[in-house]
Amino acid sequence: MQTFSSNYLKEFSTQVFLHFGVSKKDAEQAADVLSLSDLRGIDSHGVARLHTYFDMLTLGKINAKPNIKIIRDKKSVCTVDGDNGLGLVVGPKANEIAMEKAAQHGSGWVSVCNTNHYGIASYYSFKALERDMIGWSMTNTTKLVAPLWGAERMLGTNPISIAFPGLKNLPIVIDLATSAAAYGKIEIAKRKGAPVPKGWIINDKGEMTTDPSDMINGGALLPLGSDRELGGHKGYALSAMVDILTSVLSGANWGPFAPPFALRQEIPSRSVGKGIGHFFGAMEIDGFMDVTEFKKRIDEWIEVFRNTKPASGTNGVLIPGDPEHQEEAIRRKEGIPLLPAVVNDLLDISKQTGIPFEV
Amino acid sequence: MQTFSSNYLKEFSTQVFLHFGVSKKDAEQAADVLSLSDLRGIDSHGVARLHTYFDMLTLGKINAKPNIKIIRDKKSVCTVDGDNGLGLVVGPKANEIAMEKAAQHGSGWVSVCNTNHYGIASYYSFKALERDMIGWSMTNTTKLVAPLWGAERMLGTNPISIAFPGLKNLPIVIDLATSAAAYGKIEIAKRKGAPVPKGWIINDKGEMTTDPSDMINGGALLPLGSDRELGGHKGYALSAMVDILTSVLSGANWGPFAPPFALRQEIPSRSVGKGIGHFFGAMEIDGFMDVTEFKKRIDEWIEVFRNTKPASGTNGVLIPGDPEHQEEAIRRKEGIPLLPAVVNDLLDISKQTGIPFEV
C-alpha cells in the first residue's frame, strides 16, 4: 500500500475531469465526491473508480458538458434530466435542487433520470447536514442482485442513505446497500480461492452456494435478509423501492435494464428509459422541531445506544457511521492508502493524458 | 377456526370504540384500520388486538377524545401532537394532513408524537394510492430488537411501508418490519416447543440461540440481516432511521423508552418525550411524471419481475404485496377466520360492555 494526501488525489482527479472538457466547477465537484469516499474508507467508490470514469469519458459514453434541467416540477417535488452527465456532477446538482426546495417549501424531493454512477450515497446526505436538513439519497445501479426466489440478476445493490446531525456528537450517517453483501467481497474471495458465507450468493439455478465463482459465472447476489426465513423478501422489497423511486418515477432505466457503470459489464437486453436514476430528499429540521433541540435529542440517542449492554464477544453497539468517522479522522491526518492496482490505474491515466502523477 | 364477515367484525369494533366515547367518525375510522388488517391476512394487527385497545381505553391510558393538532409547521412538513389518542385515529388524521400538504405543496411529511399503536403500516400507504400519491408510513413500537452487537432490547420492530400504483395490476405494497422475524413467530414456536431458525433471536448475553424461551426471558429479536456477516448492521440502521424520523424528530419517546402497547409489557425506565411516534409522507406522482405513464411503467416493472427466471424449488418471484392481495380476494368473499382465543377475547369484550357478539 502506498499513501497519498487526500488533496493530491483530489487535484489529480480534478485535472482528469478537466482534460475531458468538464467545467472547472464540475470537475472540482466530481473530484470532491471521490475524495470523500476515500477519506471515509469506502475505497471501492473513490479514486479506485477514476479509471472507469476515464474510460467512459474517453469513449464519449458520458457527456462531459451536460445541460442538467428540471423537466417536471411541482413546488417541493420535481424530476431532473441529467443529460447523460457524470453522476458525480448530476447527483450534487440534483441534491442542491432538493435542498433549495426544502429551504423554500420545507422539503424537497428530486427524482433523476439520464444520469450515471454517483459515488457514495452518503455524500449527498452529508451535504444536507451542512444546512440543518435531513438528507436522503438513493440510486439504482447495474443488476447484480436476484429478487427472492429468482435465479437471475434483476436489481442493483441499490443503496439508501440518510443522515441526522448531533450537537456534540458526530452525525448518525446511514449508508447501506440493500444486498446482503457487496460484490467486491465476492471478487476478493474468488481471488483468494476462499468460500463466502452462506446467504450472500446464489448460482445460476438460484441455489445458495458458497463458491464465489458460482455467483460470478451467471449467479447473483442475494438481497439483505438472504432467504425467506431470514427476511430476504424484505431486502428485495427495499431494493425494489429504491429502483422505483430512482428510476420508474424519473423515466430512467429500472431493474435489469440499468446500463452498466463500466465498459466490461453486460449491456441490458433493452432500454426502458434514459440512463440510471437517483432520488434525493431534503427536509428542514426546523419545520418539525427547534434545530438545537433536535440535535440534543440525537446526542442523547447516540449516547443511550452506545451504552447498550454489549453482546458477549463483541465490543458493543456502534452508531451508524462510526467506522467511517474513525477512518476519516485517521486518513485526514495520515493520507489515503492505495493498492498497487489502483496506483497503476492512476499511472495509466497519467500516461494517457499527460497529467503528472508522482508515486 | 370460526369465520366472520368482515363487516360484522368492523361494526363490532366500531361499537366498542363508541362505548368509550370515541366519536362516530373516529370509531369507524379506527375499526376500518383493524378491518383492513384482517382482510389482508395480517391477523396479528386486526381484531385480535381489539382487546388490548379495550384494556387501554378501560383504564383511561388512551384518550378517547383527543385534540389532535399541528404543533409546528412549514409548508410541506409539520409535527403533529396526537394528544394520546388511539393510533388508529391519530395515524389516519396525520396521514390525511400529509396528503393535504402533498396536494398543496407537491409533497407532505408529518412526524407525530403523543400517539399509540397505529395498526398496519400499509393502511396509510394505501390511502395515498387513492389520490395518485406515493405514500410512506413508519412507526416506532415497544422495544423488542437488539441493535447489532447489543445484548438487550433497544428498538421496536419499526416497520416501513410504501406503495406504488399500477394501471392494470394491483399496487406494489411494501410493508416490512425491520427485524429479522416477527415476535409472534417466537411465541408460536415456544407454544409448540419447537426451535426457531438461527438468526432470529439472541439470549440475554447477546448470543444467538434457537430456543424461543431464551428470547422471551430477557433476550431480543435480531434486526433484519441477523449478524454482521449477513448485514445485521443494515437492519439495525433501518430500524434506527424509523425510530429517529418517527420519534426523535416529533418529540415522542424513542428507542427503549417507547411506552408499551399492552398492559402486561414492561414500563420503560424513563420518559424522553410523549407517547410513541409515527412518520407519514405523501408525494404527488403528477409532480414527477404523468400519472398514467407512471402507472404503465409500474405495470411493466411488475410484469418483468414476475417473469424473473425462478429459483429451482420455488414458484418464482412475487411482487411485494402479492400474498396479501391474494388473501384479501379470498377473505372478501369468504370472511375472516378467527382463532378460538380471539373469539373468546371478543366475547369477553361483549360481556363487559353489553355489545352483542354472536358466534
Q: Would you tell me which residues 173-212 of chain A have a C-beta closer than 8 angstroms to some C-beta of chain B?
A: 174, 176-178, 180-181, 197, 199-200, 202, 205-207
Could you report the per-residue pLDDT of B301-339, keeping only the tens digit for each?
999 999 999 999 999 999 999 999 999 999 999 999 999
Chain A contact for B224, CB < 8 A? yes
For residue A77, give the C-alpha cell: 417535488
Confidence of residue B262 (pLDDT cuts 50, 70, 90): confident
CATH code for the domain defined by B1-65+337-359:
1.10.1530.10
Contact A226, A236 (CB under 8 A): no
- CATH architecture, range A1-65+299-359: Orthogonal Bundle (1.10)
Residues B105, B109, B112, B116, CA torsion sign? positive
- Cα A84 from Cα A68, distance rounded (Å): 9
Nearest residue to B148 via CA among B199, B185, B216: B199
pLDDT band with cut points at 50, 70 and 90 for residue A243: very high
CB proximity under 8 Å: B 238-297 to A: 238, 240-241, 243-245, 248-251, 254-256, 272, 283-289, 294, 297
Q: How many residues does chain A have?
A: 359
- Helix, strand, coil shares of chain B as percentages rounded to 5? 45, 20, 40
Identify residue A310 by its one-letter amino acid code.
Answer: P
B240 to A174: CB separation less than 8 angstroms, yes or no: yes
Using a pLDDT cut of 70, give the percent of chain B over it. 100
Does residue B261 carry a pLDDT above 90? no
Whether B148 contacts chain A with CB within 8 A? yes
Q: Cα–Cα distance between A351 and A339 in angstroms, integer?
A: 19
Write the residue in A205, A244, A284 that is nearest to B74 by C-beta.
A284
Q: How many CB pairs under 8 A join A and B?
A: 296
Q: What is the pLDDT of residue A281?
A: 98
pLDDT digit string, tens, across residues A198-216: 999 999 999 999 999 999 9
CATH number of A66-178+229-289: 3.30.1370.60
Burial of A191 (0-12, 13-18, 19+ CB in 10 A): exposed
Q: Where are the alpha helices (DSSP H) in A231-321?
A: 232-243, 291-306
Helix or strand or coil: residue A298? helix
DSSP3 helix / strand / coil % (chain A, rounded to 5): 45, 20, 40
Q: What count of other Cβ atoms lies within 10 Å of the Cβ of residue A218?
A: 13
Domain boundaries, chain B: 1-65+337-359, 66-179+230-291, 181-221
Confidence tier at A178 by pLDDT (50, 70, 90):
very high
Contacts of B272 in chain A (CB under 8 A): 297, 300
Q: Which of B58, B101, B51, B57 is nearest to B79 (CA)?
A: B101
**What's the whole-number mean pLDDT along residues A66-93?**
98
Nearest residue, CB atoms, B317 vs list A73, A150, A230: A150
Burial of B296 (0-12, 13-18, 19+ CB in 10 A): middle
Structure confidence at residue A302 (pLDDT): 98
Instruction: Say whether B267 sits in a helix, a strand or coil.
Output: coil
Alpha-carbon distance B356 to A119, whole Å? 62
**H or E element at residue B209:** strand B208-209
pLDDT class of A264 with cuts at 50, 70, 90: confident
| pLDDT of A336 over the 90 cut | yes
pLDDT (tens digit per residue) in A287-328: 999 999 999 999 999 999 999 999 999 999 999 999 999 999
* Residue A262: how many other CB atoms lie within 10 Å: 13
**pTM for the full predicted model:** 0.98
Domain B66-179+230-291 has CATH 3.30.1370.60: yes
Q: What is the mean pLDDT of residues B347-356?
A: 98
Chain A contact probe: residue of B100, B201, B241 with most A CBs at under 10 A: B241
**Cβ pair A149:B314 closer than 8 A:** yes
Helices (H), A177-270: 183-192, 212-216, 232-243
Please give the CATH superfamily to which domain B181-221 belongs.
Hypothetical oxidoreductase yiak; domain 3 (3.30.60.50)
pLDDT at A341 > cutoff 80? yes
Cβ pair B72:A288 closer than 8 A: yes
Shortest distance, CA B135 to any CA of chain A (angstroms):
12
